[in-house]
Structure formats: C-alpha cells, structure tokens
Amino acid sequence: MSGERVLHKTYTVDVTAPAGVVYGLIADTTQWPLIVPPSVHVERLDFDGTEDRFQMWVTANGQVKSWFSRRAMDPVARRVDFRQETPAAPALAMGGRWSVDELGATRSRLTLDHDFTVAEDRPDDAAWLARATDTNSRAELDRIKETAENWASLDDLLLTFEDRVTVKAPPELVYSFLYGVDDWPAHLPHVSRVNLTEDVPGIQLLSVDTLTGDGSRHTTESVRICFPHAYRIVYKQTATPRLLAAHTGEWSLFPDETGVTAVSRHSVLLREEAIAEVLGPDADIAQARAYVREALGRNSVATLGRAAQHAESAVRTL
C-alpha cells in the first residue's frame, strides 16, 4: 500500500442466546450461506480447527463479489480474526474481527469490526465500500441474532437432503441442460418464467416463477455460481418463499463408466413463525420439514428427469 487511510467500521448487537451458540454460528463458514444473508457460497480450501482458508461469493450493492480469505479462530476468547487475501475491487485491503462477549448464561454481545482501504483514497470507491459494508454487516448481525435466539430448535429448523438420478449420457450434455436455465420454461411444467442475467460468465442472477402442487405460483430470486469443469452449479435463493428463511442448493454430476449420476442437494433454514401461517394453525416443525422436503424434492427430480431425457435423446440422435 502507498499510505492510503485505513477506514474502520464497528457493528454490535445483543443476542438472547448463550455466547457459545453465537460463536458456533460465526465459526462455521460452511453454514454461512444459510445464516449470513449476503453470503452466496463458501468453498473451504483448508481448515485445521483454528486456521481457515476459503473462497467466498457474496452480494454487495447489487453485485456479486468473490475473494479468498484467511481466518484465525480462538474458541476460548470467542474471537475470529479475518483478512482477505485477494480483496474484491474497490477494496485494496479488507479485514477485521468477530468477537462474542458473554453477558450472562443466555445473553451475549456480538461485535463485528472491519478495517479497509481503497486505492488512492478515492472518495467514490470509499463510499461504495462503506455502503456495502454497512448494508451487509447489519444484515449479517440481524440474521445471526435471529438464528441464535432460535437455538433450542435450530437443529429441527435446519434441513439438508438430496435426490439422485442415473443418466446414460455424457456429463457435458446433462450439465448443458442444467446450465441453460433460461430454456427451462419450455421443458419443465413447474417453471413458468425465467429472467436470466449473466454479465460475468458463470455467475447467473435469476428471477423464476415456479408452480407448486396446488397450482399456486411462487417467485424466487437466486444467484448461481457455475463450475463447468467440475460439473457443479451452486446457488442461493436471495428471495425465498415465506416458509424458508434461507435456501441453498447444488447440482452436481458424477461420471462413471455407464454415464453419470446427477445429484440435486438442498439445504434450508425454516422460518418457524411462518409455519402456522403457511400450513395451518395446527402444523408443527415436523410437518414443515416434510412439506419442504416433498415440494423441493419433487421439482428437483422432475428437473433431473428432464435433463436425463434431454441428454439421452441427444446421444441417440448422434
């Protein structure tokens, strides 16, 4: 750096939950896309229990940014220090600290400190970064607070599952169908509209209208990160149905000697206060889990089945 000013931002929230619960939420980066709203995907690269290195994709001021980060964790002090290895523009450097202070058996204070610089102290860049930091940090603390305060039922509110379909075709053909989401309304009865933006190759912003089993229509918005060489597409819904506080997923293909196994994986965080509103006054978490599993699984299997037909018919034509 060449003498740029270091700018500082600090954010604090009090949480009605044990300090250990709050620390656990910030320590596990693999769960961030479910509990940290701006986080789209985290690809963990190294982890030894205290040192963590990963690549992450986040939304910031309406854009998708990506960078590599390192973190040093101190579970005794309940502190996590972080530093971006390759900051995303306009940041020249970015780092900070998460810390959790115990205020009582079931009360704690979560603090997030940021320090950052921009090249040549450009005012517009500094303002953009300050705005993104403010918006994202406040959203992060609010959601972590909400999630931690539901800690007693958190295990029941989190749900992960997958569906598999065997396809007798090359993975390139299956991936092509899954990647070409703007063509889905012509092939999938449960998808009525797709609006796709892909200004950066492999980063897709989607708005999708989906029909449910009872004929109602849901509009969702998502960010998809595509890894064509690995036959993977990961995504996060940035606007979810009422029942879901968060929803992430992945399409992945595993080639073998006969073709490919196509896998759809979903992870969701249920919104407990919406269960009665959506499913009726007598519904409970178990019913909500079953409802979400069936609805998302049905659409995933339909999509994978159509991808299989598309790929296998292309092979026969060839």
Nearest to 179 by CA among 310, 298, 66, 295: 310
Our CA dihedral for 235, 236, 239, 245, rounded to 10 degrees, sits at 150
Would you say residue 2 lies in a domain?
Answer: no
Q: Which amino acid is at 163?
A: D
Would you say residue 233 lies in a domain?
Answer: yes
SS3 81: strand
Residue 215's Cα: distance from chain center in Å? 27
DSSP H or E run through 230: none
Tell whether the model's pLDDT for residue 56 goes beyond 50.
yes
Which own/partner pairs from 3-8 qualify as long-range (CB within 8 Å, at least 24 positions apart)?
4/92, 4/117, 4/118, 4/119, 4/120, 4/121, 5/117, 5/121, 6/93, 6/115, 6/116, 6/117, 7/115, 7/116, 7/117, 7/118, 7/126, 7/129, 7/130, 8/113, 8/114, 8/115
Tell whether the model's pLDDT for residue 143 goes beyond 80.
yes
116 and 180 fall within a common domain: no
The stretches of the chain forming alpha helices (DSSP H) are 19-27, 32-35, 123-148, 154-157, 171-179, 184-187, 275-279, 285-317
Our CA dihedral for 263, 242, 285, 234, rounded to 10 degrees, sits at 20
Tell whether the model's pLDDT for residue 315 goes beyond 50.
yes
* Average per-residue pLDDT for the chain: 94
Which token pair is 33? Answer: 């896309």
Tell whether the model's pLDDT for residue 57 goes beyond 80.
yes
Residue 234: band (very low, low, confident or very high) from pLDDT cuts 50, 70, 90: very high
164 and 194 fall within a common domain: yes
118 and 187 fall within a common domain: no
Tell me the per-residue pLDDT of 184-207, one tens digit each, with 9 for 90 and over.
999 999 999 999 999 999 999 999
- Find out whether 84 and 68 touch, Cβ atoms under 8 Å: yes
Q: Which amino acid is at 118?
A: V
SS3 202: coil
Would you say residue 74 lies in a domain?
Answer: yes
Last residue of a domain, one of 149, 166, 187: 149
37 and 62 fall within a common domain: yes
Tell whether the model's pLDDT for residue 245 goes beyond 70.
yes
Tell whether the model's pLDDT for residue 101 goes beyond 50.
yes
Which residue's structure tokens are 């999509």? 303
What pLDDT, on the 0 to 100 scale, is given for residue 55? 96
Would you say residue 1 lies in a domain?
Answer: no
What pLDDT, on the 0 to 100 scale, is given for residue 212? 72
Tell me the per-residue pLDDT of 13-22, one tens digit each, with 9 for 90 and over.
999 999 999 9
In percent, the amount of the chain with pLDDT more than 70 equals 97
27 and 136 fall within a common domain: yes
β-strand pairing of 107-118 with 158-167: unpaired
Answer whether the bond into residue 90 is a cis peptide, omega within 30°: yes
Which residue would you say has higher pLDDT here, 198 or 315? 198
Section 66-74 average pLDDT: 97
Last residue of a domain, one of 88, 114, 149: 149
17 and 115 fall within a common domain: yes
Tell whether the model's pLDDT for residue 217 goes beyond 90.
no
102 and 228 fall within a common domain: no
Looking up residue 22, the CATH number of its domain turns out to be 3.30.530.20
128 and 189 fall within a common domain: no
C-alpha distances in angstroms, 48 versus 70, 72, 73, 97?
Answer: 12, 10, 10, 19
Tell me the per-residue pLDDT of 8-54, one tens digit each, with 9 for 90 and over.
999 999 999 999 999 999 999 999 999 999 999 999 999 998 999 99
Last residue of a domain, one of 128, 149, 170: 149
In percent, the amount of the chain with pLDDT more than 90 equals 92
Report the number of distinct structural domains present in the chain: 2
167 and 81 fall within a common domain: no
140 and 171 fall within a common domain: no
Section 198-219 average pLDDT: 87
61 and 199 fall within a common domain: no
Residue 1: band (very low, low, confident or very high) from pLDDT cuts 50, 70, 90: very low
121 and 44 fall within a common domain: yes
Beta partners for 107?
Answer: 104
Residue 213: band (very low, low, confident or very high) from pLDDT cuts 50, 70, 90: low
Would you say residue 240 lies in a domain?
Answer: yes
Domain housing 110: 7-149
